[in-house]
Amino acid sequence: MITEREESLKMIRETVREFSRKELGPISSRVDEDDYFPLELFRKLGSLGFLGITVPEKYGGSGLGYEAQAVVTEELGYDSASFSLSYGAHSNLVVDSIYRNGSEYIRKTFLPKLCSGEMIGSLCLTEPGSGSDALAMKTHARREGDHFILDGSKTLITNAPYADLMLVYARTGESYTAFVVLSSDKGVSKGKKFSKMGMRGSPTGEIYFDRVELPADRVLGKEGDGKEIILSGLNAERVILSFIFVGLARKALEASLRYSMERRQFGRSIAEFEMIEEKLSNMYTRYQASRLLCEKALVEIQNDRMNAIDSAASILYTAESAEYIAREALQIHGGYGYVKDAGIERLLRDAILGQIGAGTTEIRKHLVASNLVKYFRKNKSLPK
Ligand SMILES: Cc1cc2nc3c(=O)[nH]c(=O)nc-3n(C[C@H](O)[C@H](O)[C@H](O)COP(=O)(O)OP(=O)(O)OC[C@H]3O[C@@H](n4cnc5c(N)ncnc54)[C@H](O)[C@@H]3O)c2cc1C
């Protein structure tokens, strides 16, 4: 019997699928070729209730939770991984974090505009000198009476060129604090937009802060809470962003099945050759294993039972698998896969970001292993 929750997720999937196949799929090559961010389409996600999907209705959201956010991320990722990345950065990294950590003033002032798409958000952690070692950041803020003065710069920031609101992490003395910064604040300027090998269309850029005066009520949480806010958001972030790559892998596998059944060589469809069968079976197995791992992790974050091992493991495996599946898809498509028209080489270029953005494969491996050792030492058993 289908539960009410499953019924609601099914309806969300149908709605986002219809939107994505009709409006995003047909322009996805242009998004990639021209490095074009379809702003109006992005704002439309707001009118569909997807931008504030984890935020209660009283702040302008639709209160549907992480499972629904994952469904939207996957379906958008199927048609355009880059659009889905911009969606994830806005709706999870910024909107969800502001809801979870913001004061009533911050929630009421900014969430309605972020949920409707009137404002675009960016999460600003990475700096020129600090990526994996994020806490080595140089950006800092110092208190002067009832306000803070923010100085520094951030780089490789998703949505930065379009961002109206930025969630900025800065040092405040010995600790870290998260601030809500507006692009209209005096002293904020945007640097260059990067031209990337993949995820083109998801705008990535630099942001500078030159003596930006911020009222004290723009602190997210409390002064000094920044590290906890970063860490508390990471589990959900990893799991939600994994679904971009679940969607991408599904697209690559479906395209490979279609092509290998149609394409005939040596008088047979290529799907009948053992070496192609091996590819298809490996692709399918890794795709299903990624999905199951991510869905397990999703239930855990939904129920607030998440551990850092499973969240890091789910994105680690899903990102590696998506790259593997996209590479095999390209091989199955032969020469046609190598030319742009088939849209397969784009999947591979986009998939590679999965092993770099939101933490690298190496850092995820370290997280899985070090936390597993700690867990095992304490419990003498594996996590469930
Ligand atoms: C398209 C894109 C979008 C992004 N969006 C955002 C965003 O919205 N907000 C944001 O704040 N950041 C964003 N980033 C930045 C991203 O989070 C960082 O690129 C990532 O965390 C890695 O940091 P780094 O690039 O400085 O690499 P580095 O940390 O310099 O790493 C370089 C290499 O060294 C390895 N390495 C580093 N430390 C270790 C270690 N201890 N053990 C083993 N190997 C190690 C890494 O795995 C990597 O292979 C984005 C990046 C890209 C490419």
The tens digit of pLDDT for each residue in 122-149 reads: 999 999 999 999 999 999 999 999 999 9
Phi first, then psi, for residue 128 (nearest 5°) are -55, -35
Q: Which pair of tokens denotes residue 313?
A: 């493991």
Candidates 216, 217, 226, 214; CA nearest to 150 is 214
Active-site residue 254, yes or no? no
The amino acid present at 202, given as its one-letter code, is S
One fold for both 4-120 and 123-224? no
At the top level of CATH, the class of 123-224 is mainly beta
Q: What gap in Å lies between CA 102 and CA 219, rounded to an integer?
A: 8
Phi first, then psi, for residue 195 (nearest 5°) are -95, 120
Per-residue pLDDT at 242 exceeds 80: yes
pLDDT value at residue 1: 76
Give the pLDDT band of residue 239 (cuts 50, 70, 90).
very high
Phi first, then psi, for residue 184 (nearest 5°) are -85, -5
Q: Which atom of ligand 1 is nearest to the CA of 85?
A: 3
pLDDT value at residue 2: 82
**Sign for the pseudo-dihedral over CA of 96, 119, 22, 357:** negative
The tens digit of pLDDT for each residue in 39-69 reads: 999 999 999 999 999 999 999 999 999 999 9
The tens digit of pLDDT for each residue in 334-350 reads: 999 999 999 999 999 99
Average pLDDT over residues 306-324: 93
Give the pLDDT band of residue 324 (cuts 50, 70, 90).
very high
Q: Does ligand 1 lie within 6 Å of residue 233's CB atom?
A: no
Per-residue pLDDT at 109 exceeds 80: yes
pLDDT value at residue 327: 98
Regarding pTM above 0.95, the answer is yes
Q: Does ligand 1 lie within 6 Å of residue 82's CB atom?
A: no
- Best residue among 95, 156, 181 to mutate for probing ligand 1's pocket (most ligand atoms within 8 Å of CB) is 156
Rg (CA), the chain: 21
Per-residue pLDDT at 31 exceeds 80: yes
Q: What gap in Å lies between CA 33 and CA 129, rounded to an integer?
A: 30
Q: Running DSSP on this structure, what letter comes out for residue 359?
A: S
pLDDT value at residue 5: 85
Q: Right CATH number for 227-379 from 2.30.30.110, 3.30.450.20, 1.20.140.10, 3.30.300.130?
A: 1.20.140.10
Domains of the chain, residue spans = 4-120, 123-224, 227-379
Distance 59 CA to ligand 1 centre (A): 33
**CATH, range 4-120:** 1.10.540.10
Burial 314-342 (b: 16+ CB within 10 A, else e): bbbbbbbbbbbbbbbbbebbeeebeeeeb
Q: What gap in Å lies between CA 76 and CA 248, rounded to an integer?
A: 9
The residue with tokens 């911050």 is 106
Average pLDDT over residues 234-244: 94
Q: Which pair of tokens denotes residue 327?
A: 């590479």
Distance 359 CA to ligand 1 centre (A): 5
Give the pLDDT band of residue 235 (cuts 50, 70, 90).
confident
Q: Mean pLDDT over all residues of the chain? A: 96
